[in-house]
Amino acid sequence: MPTSFTVVPVEAQGEERQRDGQLREEEDEGDERDRGAGDGIAGESSPFINCAELGRGNMYEGKNMALFEEEMDSNPMVSSLLNKLANYTNLTQGVVEHEADEDSKRKEVKGPRMGTFIGVYLPCLQNILGVILFLRLTWIVGTAGVLESFIIVFMCCACTMLTAISMSAIATNGVVPAGGSYYMISRSLGPEFGGAVGLCFYLGTTFAGAMYILGTIEILLTYISPSAAIFKVADVGDETEAMLNNMRVYGTCIVILMAIVVFVGVKYVNKLALVFLACVILSIIAIYAGVIKTAFDPPDFPICLLGNRTLSKRNFDVCAKFTESNNETKTTPLWRLFCDSSLLNATCDDYFSLNNVTEIQGIPGIMSGVLTDNLWSAYSEKGSVVEKKDQPSVAGSEESKMGGLPYVFTDIMTYFTMLVGIYFPSVTGIMAGSNRSGDLKDAQKSIPTGTILAISTTSFIYLSCIVLFGACIEGVILRDKFGEAVNGNLVVGTLAWPSPWVIVIGSFFSTCGAGLQSLTGAPRLLQAIARDGIVPFIQIFGHGKANGEPTWALLLTVGICEIGILIASLDSVAPILSMFFLMCYMFVNLACAVQTLLRTPNWRPRFKYYHWTLSFLGMSLCLALMFICSWYYALIAMLIAGCIYKYIEYRGAEKEWGDGIRGLSLNAARYALLRVEDGPPHTKNWRPQLLVLLNLDNEQLVKHPRLLSFTSQLKAGKGLTIVGSVLQGIYLDKCTETQKAEENVKALMGVEKTKGFCQIVVSPNFRDGISYLIQSAGLGGMKHNTVLMAWPQSWKQTDNRFSWKNFVDTVRETTAAQQALLVAKNIDLFPTNQERFTEGNIDVWWIVHDGGMLMLLPFLLRQHKVWRKCKMRIFTVAQMDDNSIQMKKDLQMFLYHLRLNAQVEVVEMFENDISAFTYEKTLMMEQRSQMLKQMQLSKNEREREAQLIHDKNTASRSAPAVEVSVAAAVPEKVQMTWTKEKFVAEKHKNKDSNVSGFKDIFNMKPNQSNVRRMHTAVKLNGVVLNKSQHAQLVLLNMPGPPKNRKGDENYMEFLEVLTEGLDRVLLVRGSGREVITIYS
């Protein structure tokens, strides 16, 4: 979208300069006014980020933008920002820095100057065209036939083309620093995918180095200097084993030599790249020139056939059984290979005797029509003889096929999928351009153009070579992998013009260069991953020499490369690196598809010729090719990537790169939330979704950490958990404290392994803050249905922010919101996550039915290892008119249908007279409450006077439990505010009213309703203590607060009496809806 900028000149610059001059003179005279805006803001003379390198002319001096001067530190002026962007350079990390350090004469790094052709097209061309083209493509054409070979090459080229389209979209969506595919995948799919696929890509590049080195040795020992072999062939049939051993020895030497070259002189490797590329291009030109020449002058490469079997011409020269010389018939060396002597009457091989020896042209030429013979596949078993189709032959005995005879044998079993795995590495290397993005003049233009053009060129070369090879070369020669039928020449070399040595030498240097490039690039890729810090165990490989050379990464690369060398077979190594490259390409396509489907605002690629369907097709093709090549290699590669992914997820450093997986998670969460019904779930799906209310101290630390321990034990990571707390004050003043509190709560949640969300609310008063949390916590259908809080131990202290009034209002609000409430009493005595109860009971006292939550909670707790060995006991209370025996049977049947294992007991509570203790306890409670209402004192004075009367009654009636609880409620600061003078003044002021008031208090009679409630609490507490005093946890029905708000304080007393003497108590108040069912 084109955007227009208009630069508006600021007038009266001369006047501004005069004012500046006056200001400077005043400052020199000692005026303390600030140089800039005059507000004393530190750093105002340097309002830009990292502006130390800017000249004085670029610094902020004028007063035209005084309105924005206070924001200059965080928001630089547009002119400064544009200046920085114009001077931005993004050099490749690694090789460029190495060369800059080596070349001390270069004082400053020059800006990137490479264009599309030099920077992208040629590097991609060099990396794509390589060892497979020269050593295996003719063999693939001969084995699979022209048609199936065309399919193989087309599939692989289509895969890389689709990947290049996706890569172009990602590479043009902003600046891509050095790192290539790793950077693109990690920043698009997140650190987990990026690290896993980055390491797989590293392994693929390393094994590619091993493959190129093996190709180099094969060319050297097979076509250049066969006599250089260390292991000679002792017995017939041991050629393969000897060759593998030679490749292991030579490969180890060459990989060490290359590592030294890379370690000492990386810049020479880069400068030789052009030479290696020239070798590749000259070799391909020689192939096309040879094809053209075959049309009118085919080269002379005769093939010797015995019947329809191809003969290896390494041990004989004349393709005949005997020759005529001076009217004398003489046997040839070929005769002696099949017969036991050179005499004409010697005993010969049966097949040799029955069939004639014929000689045909190995390269009949493009006009010969041999293409029709090579259209179809000719797969074979390992050790079978390469035979010409439609050639007459007489079958001999089976022994004639045994080894030791000069036939051309197949060294491996061939089939379509295996050939795909061997061929695919020849189309890799499409990332070469994106890896050099830092060296390009315009990366967003060059990468798509150069990469797609290079793939198009190489695809044309491969596809045309398949047709031309099939049209020019005899099928038995194509299937002769090592050129034994043409005197040990490289098969593709026989087609080249002017000489086979052009291909041999060119391919030798090409594979050498490709091996050096792999050993140069792979360590830097590993170093980039290590420096990102997402995989902890490889961080050591991020270190290197002072100039950035990745020494440790190079050592690891050489070690892994040696593993490929020890495999020693190019045909076995190729499918391994195919897996890793295919996995990398698959995730590049996935990254593009995810970003396109998410439509994130930042997804604005300059390359417009992409679509998510193309990316998805490319991803599917990559996955299909992985399993086509080798299903067990594919599974191993995916297992390795999966393990790395989970390791990074579990142990790795958390990185936020704005990746697509995070966006995908948000999209999925939004979709799921919209699908979830905005209403109560079905009873079968109900589970406690907790809102945990925490108290924080003055340092914003959690007062009761065990509440989070209990939460994790109850939830076990399932369902929704919101941990909330309230800070008292105004949000603008409490921003810092809010952040600190949130950090502390999240840290404790991590320690206690509580999986959930943290929400801190700032409110003018604590009561409203709790109400806000209960009303608004959660989102859509993901809202809490249960509130968990700790019992306020010091509720009798009215200066406590979570006083009895707040607690009772919270109980009422949860009931109004139809939410369950769990109150943990003596929470500090609850077990931590590290403790284990080896025995004991979880006792449930089921007094009233409020939805079955009392049944469900012990079952959930016993899923956790802390409570796993505890037994569940359920107690219920029978009244006078109840049949306790029948109640027990019914309860056992109910539990059976609920699939809960628990011991059942029915406790009988008979009606009896209200004890004097209950009467006195109720009276004491009401006296205290009434006294507080009558006395017109301040808050602290009222507490002290109430405490004096309470202590007097406690001492006279010997109520130890109440005495302890009240004693804890005496704050020292109350006594400090009660002076003698104040007491005398108040005493004379309210003498008459106080005397009459106290007379009323001490002469009053308790309310009968309160007496009955206290009787129930005392009676029930006695029964619970008798049965469950030693239980590990007691769950009780929590009675609701009175409808008349005047009795709220009495309600707290009732709960205190009900739970007195118990260590761990969980008061449970249901939401009123069923949460457990007997139905499936």
DSSP state string for 481-542: TT-GGGTT--HHHHH-SS-HHHHHHHHHHHHHHHHHHHHHHHHHHHHHHHHHTSSGGGGGGG
Mean pLDDT of 16-31: 46
Residue 400 scores a pLDDT above 70: no
The residue ranking higher by pLDDT, 265 or 755, is 755
The residue ranking higher by pLDDT, 649 or 296, is 296
pLDDT recorded at residue 232:
80
Residue 993 scores a pLDDT above 90: no
Query: Residue 646 to residues 29, 542, 638, 640: CA-CA distances in angstroms?
Result: 67, 21, 12, 10
Give 1026-1068 pLDDT, tens digit per residue.
888 889 999 988 888 877 777 677 788 888 888 888 889 999 9
Cis peptide before 298 (omega within 30 of 0): no
pLDDT bin (cut points 50, 70, 90) of residue 47 is very low
The residue ranking higher by pLDDT, 1059 or 152, is 152
pLDDT recorded at residue 1072:
72
Mean pLDDT of 56-80: 52
pLDDT recorded at residue 397:
66
pLDDT bin (cut points 50, 70, 90) of residue 282 is very high
Residue 948 scores a pLDDT above 60: no
Runs of H (alpha helix) within 817-915: 853-861, 884-897
pLDDT recorded at residue 469:
93
Mean pLDDT of 222-236: 80
Residue 956 scores a pLDDT above 50: no
Residue 160 scores a pLDDT above 90: yes
Please name every residue paired with 1033 in a beta bridge, in sequence order, or none if there are none: 842
Structure token digits, residue 635: 């599974």
Give 103-134 pLDDT, tens digit per residue.
444 444 444 467 888 888 888 888 888 888 99
Residue 329 scores a pLDDT above 60: yes
pLDDT recorded at residue 460:
95
pLDDT recorded at residue 288:
94
Residue 870 scores a pLDDT above 80: yes
Q: What is the amino acid identity at position 148?
A: E
> For the chain, what is the mean pLDDT?
78
pLDDT bin (cut points 50, 70, 90) of residue 4 is very low
The residue ranking higher by pLDDT, 1039 or 1006, is 1039
Residue 813 scores a pLDDT above 80: yes
pTM over cut 0.85: no
pLDDT recorded at residue 48:
39
Mean pLDDT of 211-221: 92
**What percentage of the chain exceeds 70 in pLDDT?**
75
Give 644-701 pLDDT, tens digit per residue.
888 887 876 566 666 666 777 777 777 777 777 666 677 766 778 899 999 888 888 8
pLDDT recorded at residue 96:
44
Q: Check if the beta carbon of residue 473 is closer than 8 Å to that of residue 164.
A: no
Lowest average pLDDT, out of 50-59, 77-86, 1064-1073, goes to 50-59
pLDDT bin (cut points 50, 70, 90) of residue 138 is very high
Please name every residue paired with 331 in a beta bridge, in sequence order, or none if there are none: 322
pLDDT recorded at residue 911:
61
pLDDT recorded at residue 1042:
78
Nearest to 1013 by CA among 1057, 1044, 1046: 1057
pLDDT recorded at residue 345:
82
Q: What is the CA radius of gyration of the chain?
A: 44
pLDDT bin (cut points 50, 70, 90) of residue 959 is very low
Mean pLDDT of 566-581: 89
pLDDT bin (cut points 50, 70, 90) of residue 535 is confident
Residue 806 scores a pLDDT above 70: yes
Mean pLDDT of 846-854: 80
Nearest to 831 by CA among 706, 692, 690, 723: 706
pLDDT bin (cut points 50, 70, 90) of residue 147 is very high
pLDDT recorded at residue 459:
95
Lowest average pLDDT, out of 81-85, 318-322, 588-592, 607-611, goes to 81-85
State the residue for tokens 């490469």.
301
Mean pLDDT of 1014-1024: 82
What distance in Å separates the CA atoms of residue 1056 and residue 1065, rounded to the nearest whole number?
A: 11
pLDDT bin (cut points 50, 70, 90) of residue 451 is very high
Angle between helices 570-598 and 631-651 (to 10 degrees): 50
pLDDT recorded at residue 538:
85
**What percentage of the chain exceeds 90 in pLDDT?**
23
Q: How far is CA 824 from the centre of its chain?
A: 38
Residue 457 scores a pLDDT above 90: yes
Please name every residue paired with 1036 in a beta bridge, in sequence order, or none if there are none: 845, 1067
pLDDT bin (cut points 50, 70, 90) of residue 994 is very low
Lowest average pLDDT, out of 43-52, 129-138, 160-169, 860-869, goes to 43-52
The residue ranking higher by pLDDT, 67 or 793, is 793
Lowest average pLDDT, out of 78-92, 470-484, 857-871, 1041-1055, goes to 78-92
pLDDT recorded at residue 917:
54
Structure token digits, residue 725: 């707390």
Give me the DSSP letters along 706-739.
HHHHHHHHHHTT-S-EEEEEEEES-TTTSHHHHH
CB contact burial 183-217 (16+ within 10 A = b; e otherwise): bbbbbbbbbbbbbbbbbbbbbbbbbbbbbbbbbbb
Q: Check if the beta carbon of residue 386 is closer than 8 Å to that of residue 409.
A: yes
